[in-house]
Amino acid sequence: MLLKCASSTVFMIVLGVSLAGCAKIAVWNAPPKSPSEQRTALAKKADELFWDTFHNARYDRIQPALEAETAAYLADPADAITAAHIGWLHFWRLSEASRLDATPATITDDAVVAQKYFAEAVALDPHEARYAGFLASATLVEGSIDHEEKTTRRGYFMLLDAIKEWPEFNLFTAGYVMSGTPAASAQFKQAIDWEWEDLDACVGEKVDRHTAGYAKYLKQETTEGKKRVCWNSWIAPHNFEGFFLNMGDMLVKTGDWQTARNAYRNAQLSTTYETWAYRKVLEDRIIHAEDNVALFNAGKSAGAKSAPIMLTSAFSCMGCHAN
């Protein structure tokens, strides 16, 4: 009887192990989702609303844009662009939450949803390094929200991989998302180094770390190749101005307000500076650079409605992307 029970027990253990192994094999062998060969009319229509909302800084219209993009995704879940657009809308809503009179605790759910859709975009288009950079950023943000070190570290190493794929774009992405860390931390020091390295990658040489002089590089402006992201474009009409607004903010946060003023002034070199909605913010930053050292580190700032450091401001996305 004992022998029979022992045999049954062994059989059940073997069966359990076998089934577990089969389950793993079944999951491993599941075919990946293939990207769509053509985009649907619904997706293209949703794109129109997405860009109209994004370029016109219509934060209050994020939800209708999300409804349109999500409907398009449900109709065709293999469209990488649609998935990325959903991720961006969720990221934008979280990033500029300071626009709201009262910030709901559930706003942090946008980080989780953004991560899900950026992961879909990366799976469908693994060669698009911008998607990889945003997925890494969303992962890092989620880890920070949850105080979960494993997720935070995974996001960090994903950022390193994304930088290798497209340094001109993802050095900025990486530095920007980490600019909210304390100024004395190793993470912030890495972030400011990445912003300098981004400038180096854009112009092909080491930019002066004291003067931050950029005027001599303006002749390199291009709309083609990977270096196009170093300049203004249809996607980011004021990318150049926004970059140097953030660069100045980060330098102020380190205490180097003199170099920060030089960085801020680089934004004024742009041919589109006079049409930039945030030029008053930048001009206030220049005036109050020294005052803002302590204030930025306390999450505040001086000047007329100049807002805290760009990452946590009401223009953290729109500083580059608004028309």
Residue 2: predicted pLDDT:
45
Q: Are residues 223 and 126 in the same domain?
A: no
4 domain residue, yes or no: no
Q: Are residues 231 and 139 in the same domain?
A: no
Q: Are residues 98 and 219 in the same domain?
A: no
Residues 6+ apart with CB under 8 A from 71: 42, 46
Task: Tally the domains of the chain.
Answer: 2
80 domain residue, yes or no: yes
15 domain residue, yes or no: no
Q: Are residues 153 and 201 in the same domain?
A: no
The 10 Å CB-count burial string (b at 16+, else e) for 68-81 is bbbebbeeeeebbb
Question: Which pLDDT band, with edges at 50, 70 and 90, does 231 fall under?
Answer: very high
Q: Are residues 304 and 220 in the same domain?
A: yes
Q: Are residues 202 and 305 in the same domain?
A: yes
Q: How far apart are CA 279 and CA 283, in angstroms?
A: 6
Range of the domain at 289: 197-206+215-323
CATH number at residue 90: 1.25.40.10
Q: Are residues 202 and 159 in the same domain?
A: no
Residue 6: predicted pLDDT:
54
Q: Are residues 144 and 202 in the same domain?
A: no
Contact (CB, 8 A) for 137 and 155: yes
Task: Tell me the two tokens of residue 171.
Answer: 């050095």
Q: Are residues 311 and 252 in the same domain?
A: yes
2 domain residue, yes or no: no
Express each pLDDT in 89-108 by its tens digit. 999 999 999 999 999 999 99
Residue 31: predicted pLDDT:
76
Residue 105: predicted pLDDT:
96
Contact (CB, 8 A) for 245 and 278: yes
The CA-atom distances, in angstroms, between 79 and each of 1, 65, 130 are 61, 16, 16
Q: Which of 305, 291, 198 is nearest to 190 (CA)?
A: 198
More confident residue, 203 or 9: 203
Average pLDDT, the chain: 92
Question: Which pLDDT band, with edges at 50, 70 and 90, does 19 fall under?
Answer: low
Residue 21: predicted pLDDT:
67
Express each pLDDT in 255-311 by its tens digit. 999 999 999 999 999 999 999 999 999 999 999 999 999 999 988 766 544 458 999
32 domain residue, yes or no: no
Q: How far apart are CA 51 and CA 78, in angstroms?
A: 20
Residue 22: predicted pLDDT:
73
1 domain residue, yes or no: no
Q: Are residues 244 and 155 in the same domain?
A: no
More confident residue, 8 or 178: 178
Which residue matches tokens 């380190």? 254
Q: Are residues 152 and 202 in the same domain?
A: no
Q: Are residues 145 and 257 in the same domain?
A: no
Q: How far apart are CA 154 and CA 161, in angstroms?
A: 11
Express each pLDDT in 118-170 by its tens digit. 999 999 999 999 999 999 999 999 999 999 999 999 999 999 999 999 999 99
297 domain residue, yes or no: yes
